[in-house]
Structure 1
């Protein structure tokens, strides 16, 4: 608590130094805009620290009133009172988090760094409050009289407190607070290092001739990026969040392909300020120590104890089940690519990792008479959104979307839509932010500015953020097929939030276990290639004509091409994540690269031609927080979503009846019951069926 007070005092002084007055801080009161949407026309960086300080002060006072209540603990005066607390703090941190990810200027990053330890300390002040936990436990012990959301909220709240250390001794709680605070600071540091390191890993090209194979649009983007970096007249090939940038498949210059991939693989691994090895080894060490303190053998054991998987063994079993088929298919595909490349490059040619995408794209053209350049004229962002994603949501769920240009946004290019239900009832606001900007964190995600809750009378305000290359000035925004899939994926998350219909925020929408929350998003990807949906959005950017059936047939026939690579890079990343999470307390890793190699070799996944989708040094999912010992959830939920899609196919496919059933039984229910029951109620399966994933990936009949 002394540290919390000291931190608050420091931040108070920092806030006092800001030049702008905070007397009219828009974060201190609920927004008057529709849906209580953030008023970005008024919100300034200097508003966040005072709002967060005040939010902490108010919530601590609210908790104090709960613990000092002389009446016996009840659901209303303890659990419900806790659920109602912290409204200002939640509002300010939700907006700050959204901005730091999507438009993280240096000023906002500094504020994030300043507030991270403060928020970590505050979280511990709540979850390790002995008097508060005693009252929650008293309600939990008498929960037989509760039902519905009241019961579920009580059980989850009790479990959360226990999971976070409420049963520890006072001495161990103090130790845990120190660990949590240091981890929080290091995770923020890691994120900022990766953002800077990814930017620094861009490859500068002197001659346009070296960019042979890239489209005019891509070359124009590279020229603009170089100009912005102070290298006018040159070309800058920017890196992606993942290991391999999409444009590597187009570059005819083999040495440039090598330079790009090696720069990506080696980013954040040096000794400069962007080097993350010391940061991640310390995070792993602290996590293992934390897990031991909490009574677990490893961080993974602790992290999975409140997930669907429950234990690390379940995740390792998933990898073991998928690895043999993947390994065999990777070897088969590599041999085929090698032989194909040798037809033009000669018998001495040896396929390398930077060659895979390049020759795979050309082999795909030979086998299916198809490559990305054939599809690109039909994959234009605006049509994909309005005639694909929104169209599918209308056919399945009856939703309609209306642009809301009157709602202020936080950056150029962000758009807002109001979402209406089948009976024209207003449901939500939906923000789209699709194009890359220098201040945006890599990757793609969905989150809420405002959570749905009937208790508070709030409807969801949701955003999707992606990192697609911005179009050249005046040109359409062409997307790759992977980008199209990402749009459908993130909108699946958005639907999960849009359909939220819970009383309590804690149970609302996407507030589910991590290894369930990816299911609705991956399920929504299936509609990208649905014949009706595809013909509706895949229209030629010049003529407006729908994609010819012949091209659709080729596109679908090639759907499983390259799936061994996609699964292999995913399994490798899961293996790396779990290896870090399974370290026993006291283990010190001195060579990150060697640690990775050993983990992959032990798992039978040392694919030299198929690098991990993320290496440790830039693994934001794991060391930036949120998905530590949880990257497996994408594969775990892919099994669930394939099982659900199998049910759809067996019952008529894309119909309003099926969409309504899925909405009613699964994605409108938040976390109101153990989420495995939603899967069982919908599919009739008591256990997920692995064969669906293997079939969908083309690894089994």
Structure 2
């Protein structure tokens, strides 16, 4: 059979033909894709006609379709189903991709044509595209001399290898660090469904007992319910030591080398450090502005965390605990939440069954806001048997795209939650979007319902906000499609979508007991909202710890090396004022995949930077009637559909009528 990547898929919306794809297809497809793309680029360079928008810029947008098809599918597998075969291919193809990108971005003849393109008579989107191409070539090193370009190629190749190694080591160490418990009594406090899931996880892993797989952040969900303090300690230590252990999967040396190479690469381009380089093309006006915001948030966040800690010590003392430890925080935080606000989050799980969360919550809100309908397409296959496919249509029945949902954790899947695209919308290419949401929900025991925690429901709404950003794209050029916006803007639409989880009409529609069908009582919802700022001291401080650690790694001066990453991390947190023993960073160096293998290097600040716009937008929705088609259509038209085809902050101004205000964020997090 011919390689399925060598021609455009004939399935609806050009969904990749996953039933025909095997790992053996990838390397030949990459090879063919590289050759085809380079031939297309060479034709552009050798074009005897004077450079213009169509024969240079638009031609580059049309080029490389075989490579794009292959890469979108492959990296979906590499994140969500990284078998040994896929990992081996990733190690081989990663440096090849880096070299291929460099061969284009560092092509001086191609850059000369880009520079020569006139923007006279072009529409605004085309003018912006020319500008973005010019900037990307310069940022890649197109203006460097031959020696500088040679070193840039070496650095990029090595960074590709290191990033792949980091991700694969972290996946192995996360799987190996899952907590195995032999006695069910040691899991006291966990629900019967969760204990059954732990037993099923152990059986799947071929071990006896109960297995608690680790999620990516430091804090593990079970810490909030486990009554056995030693089990809490073991689970916490398993989480916080990932990547730090003295084994073959230690990631610290990889992190240090990546940080040093990024600093050197930034210096080649005239920047003082990688953080200056990374933030130069973001919506934040400067690295100094980012620090000013973060530094202003640290004192009130730490103050609130210390105040919370005092209440937790009092609660722990009633259990005879003299010294509160970090593995006690979540447990006693939930106890205080129950005592002071009468909110027991563990008791909410029976009301959050996955099918209802999806159909009657997430999809329902999208229907009320935007008129979307979702039809499950069981005739279309995903990349794994657990993946489901829905066709999405507008209210007038016109087709919009495909949405794929991959909700369960598995050993071959990276931790965390994310959205990615398999096909990007573009009127130039005539393509409609195919987007994927990934979560990591523990697989329930056979025949049992999938019950979500409160935080997992929030995450599901969040990731679907990214999906909407991809689905609603209405741009001409694929470079601007959907979520292809600056890193410190991309989280904004997804954070806005979280608001609908507890919106009265939405929560009443999906939050129903999976056995009795009884709705979640209104007084429980009222109490959840009343307790909204409880724990924000901890949450903001652990987030700031990770953010400021990220910046510390990427503000290293060129030539500066870190020989002791543990010491570097501790000193960085101390300098930043967030070195609280009870509140470790949300991610530590050993398992900070966002920045060492995920595209967020020097950009983890993006979440709270975006949250300024998010919180302000939530206020706008509340002030203008909430869940209405008029509001949804405005948000879709002015912002979600625009991708990066206009300046993202201008898109926000067009929607909001002004720049964002920080006060709603401060109020939301209890920092005012």
Residue 72 (structure 1) aligned to one of 50, 69, 85:
50
Residue 504 (structure 2) aligned to one of 531, 537, 545:
531
Shift in Å, 1:434: 0.5
Aligned-partner Cα distance in 2 for 1:689–1:324? 20
Aligned-partner Cα distance in 2 for 1:615–1:685? 37
Aligned-partner Cα distance in 2 for 1:312–1:273? 36
Q: Does 1:695 align with 2:639?
A: no
Residue 51 (structure 1) aligned to one of 17, 26, 29:
29
Shift in Å, 1:228: 3.0
Q: Does 1:82 align with 2:55?
A: no
Q: Quick check: 507-516 or 220-229, which moved more? A: 220-229
Aligned to 1:15: none
8 Å CA contact 2:420, 2:435 repeated in 1: yes
Aligned-partner Cα distance in 2 for 1:227–1:529? 36
Residue 658 (structure 1) aligned to one of 623, 631, 634:
631
Q: What SS does the corresponding residue of 1:685 show, helix, strand or coil?
A: coil
Q: What SS does the corresponding residue of 1:143 show, helix, strand or coil?
A: coil
Aligned-partner Cα distance in 1 for 2:63–2:285? 30
Shift in Å, 1:519: 0.4
Residue 97 (structure 1) aligned to one of 61, 67, 75:
75
Q: Does 1:177 align with 2:153?
A: yes
| Structure 2 gap segments, 5+ residues each | none
Q: What SS does the corresponding residue of 2:318 show, helix, strand or coil?
A: helix
Aligned to 1:145: 121
8 Å CA contact 1:666, 1:682 repeated in 2: yes
Aligned-partner Cα distance in 2 for 1:172–1:545? 66
Aligned to 1:375: 348
Q: Deviations over 1:534-593 (max 9, x none)?
A: 111101101222212122212222222211111111100001100001000111111111
Q: Does 1:335 align with 2:310?
A: yes
Using the size of structure 1 for normalisation, the TM-score is 0.95
8 Å CA contact 2:225, 2:346 repeated in 1: no
Q: What SS does the corresponding residue of 1:509 show, helix, strand or coil?
A: coil
Aligned-partner Cα distance in 2 for 1:612–1:370? 26
Aligned to 2:233: 258
Aligned to 1:458: 431
1:236-255 paired onto structure 2 within 5 Å: 236-255=211-230
Residue 496 (structure 1) aligned to one of 446, 469, 475:
469
8 Å CA contact 1:248, 1:357 repeated in 2: yes
Q: Does 1:556 align with 2:529?
A: yes
Aligned to 2:15: 37
Residue 199 (structure 1) aligned to one of 165, 171, 175:
175
Aligned-partner Cα distance in 2 for 1:209–1:666? 51
1:255-654 paired onto structure 2 within 5 Å: 255-345=230-320, 349-654=322-627
Shift in Å, 1:229: 3.0
Shift in Å, 1:310: 4.1
Q: What SS does the corresponding residue of 1:313 show, helix, strand or coil?
A: helix
Aligned-partner Cα distance in 1 for 2:199–2:452? 19
Aligned-partner Cα distance in 2 for 1:401–1:61? 41
Aligned to 2:184: 208
Aligned-partner Cα distance in 2 for 1:373–1:197? 28
Aligned to 1:17: none
Aligned to 1:4: none
8 Å CA contact 1:217, 1:471 repeated in 2: yes
Aligned-partner Cα distance in 2 for 1:82–1:236? 50
Q: Does 1:168 align with 2:140?
A: no
Shift in Å, 1:684: 2.3
Shift in Å, 1:685: 2.4
Aligned-partner Cα distance in 2 for 1:663–1:492? 11
Aligned-partner Cα distance in 1 for 2:185–2:369? 48
Aligned-partner Cα distance in 1 for 2:299–2:136? 37
Shift in Å, 1:512: 0.5
Aligned-partner Cα distance in 2 for 1:361–1:108? 41
Aligned-partner Cα distance in 1 for 2:653–2:313? 44
Using the size of structure 2 for normalisation, the TM-score is 0.99
Q: Deviations over 1:259-297 (max 9, x none)?
A: 111121111112311101111111111111101111100
Q: What SS does the corresponding residue of 1:160 show, helix, strand or coil?
A: helix
Aligned-partner Cα distance in 1 for 2:24–2:16? 15
Shift in Å, 1:230: 3.0
Aligned-partner Cα distance in 1 for 2:270–2:519? 59
Shift in Å, 1:85: 0.5
Aligned-partner Cα distance in 1 for 2:523–2:254? 52
Aligned residues: 672
Aligned-partner Cα distance in 1 for 2:556–2:418? 29
Q: Deviations over 1:285-339 (max 9, x none)?
A: 1111101111100000011111111422122112112111101101111011111
Shift in Å, 1:342: 1.4
Shift in Å, 1:596: 1.0
Aligned to 2:109: 131
Aligned to 1:3: none
8 Å CA contact 1:644, 1:682 repeated in 2: no
Q: What SS does the corresponding residue of 1:345 show, helix, strand or coil?
A: coil
Q: Deviations over 1:315-374 (max 9, x none)?
A: 21121121111011011110111112212326xx22110000001111111112221222
Coordinate RMSD, CA, aligned? 1.1
Aligned to 1:224: 200
Aligned-partner Cα distance in 2 for 1:550–1:184? 52
Q: Quick check: 203-212 or 412-421, which moved more? A: 203-212
8 Å CA contact 1:299, 1:581 repeated in 2: yes
8 Å CA contact 1:409, 1:415 repeated in 2: yes
Shift in Å, 1:221: 2.0
